[in-house]
A and B are shown apart, each in its own frame.
Chain A
Amino acid sequence: MELFDHLLYGLQNLAGVTPVLVVIAGVVVGILGGAMPGISPSMAVALLLPFTFGMSASMGIVMLCAIYLAANYGGSITAVMINTPGTPSAVVTAFDGYPLTRKGQAGTGLGVSLIASVVGGFVGIVILILFSGPLARLALKFWPAEYFALAVLGLSTIASLGGGRWLESFVAVLLGLLLNTIGLDPLSGVSRFTFDIVRLYDGFSFIPVLIGLFALSEVFSCIESGEVNAPSVVPDKDKSPWPSVRDYLKLKYAMLRAGIIGTVIGIFPGAGGTIASFIAYDVEKRVSNDPDSFGKGTPFGVAAAEASNSASVGGALVPLLTLGIPGSSSAAVLLGALMIHELQPGPELFTKHPEIVYTLFSSLFVANIFILILGLLGARLWIRTALIPKRALYPMILAFSFIGSFAVRSSMFDVGVCLAFGVIGWILTRYDVPVSPVVLGMILGTMIEQNLRTTIMMGGPGLFFSRPLSLALLTLAFASVLVPYLRGRKSPSSRKGAGGAA
Chain B
Amino acid sequence: MDIIGFLGKGKGALVLFGACAAVLVVLSFLLRSTKFAPRRGRILIVAALLELCGVFFFLTFGLEDIEAVGSSAKTAPRLWASLLAFFSLDQLRRVLSGDAKPDPESGDLSRVFRAIAIVALAIWGMAYVGFYVATCGMILLLLLLLGERRPLMLLSLPGGWLFFSYFVFARVLMMGLPTGALFG
Contacts and interface: CB of A to CB of B under 8 A. Distances in A.
Contact of A457 (B70, B80, B94): B70
B64 A167 contact: no
B94 A190 contact: no
Contacts of B146: 223, 228-229, 390-391, 394-395
A457 B116 contact: no
Contacts of B68: 187-188, 453, 457
Interface string B30-66: 0000000000011001000100110010011001101
B108 A223 contact: yes
B157 A178 contact: no
Contacts of B123: 402, 412, 415-416, 419
A13 B63 CA distance: 58
B56 A398 contact: no
Interface in B48-107: 49, 52-53, 56, 59-60, 63-64, 66, 68-73, 75-77, 80-81, 83-84, 87-88, 90-91, 94, 99-101, 103-104, 106-107
Given A178-B53, A396-B157, A431-B41, A456 B69 contact: yes
Contacts, number: 181
A167 B91 contact: yes
Interface stretch (A72-80, A169-177, A480-488): A169-177
Interface of B: 8-10, 13, 41-42, 45, 49, 52-53, 56, 59-60, 63-64, 66, 68-73, 75-77, 80-81, 83-84, 87-88, 90-91, 94, 99-101, 103-104, 106-109, 111-112, 115-116, 119-120, 122-123, 126-127, 131, 135, 138-139, 142-143, 146-148, 153, 157, 161, 165, 169, 173, 175-178
The list of the 8 closest CB pairs from A to B, nearest first, reads A391-B146, A185-B73, A224-B107, A196-B9, A395-B142, A190-B73, A174-B84, A453-B71
27 contacts: A170-B83, A171-B88, A181-B56, A181-B80, A187-B71, A190-B66, A190-B72, A193-B77, A195-B8, A224-B108, A395-B138, A395-B139, A395-B146, A402-B122, A402-B123, A403-B177, A410-B175, A412-B178, A419-B119, A419-B120, A423-B116, A430-B41, A431-B42, A453-B75, A456-B69, A456-B71, A457-B70
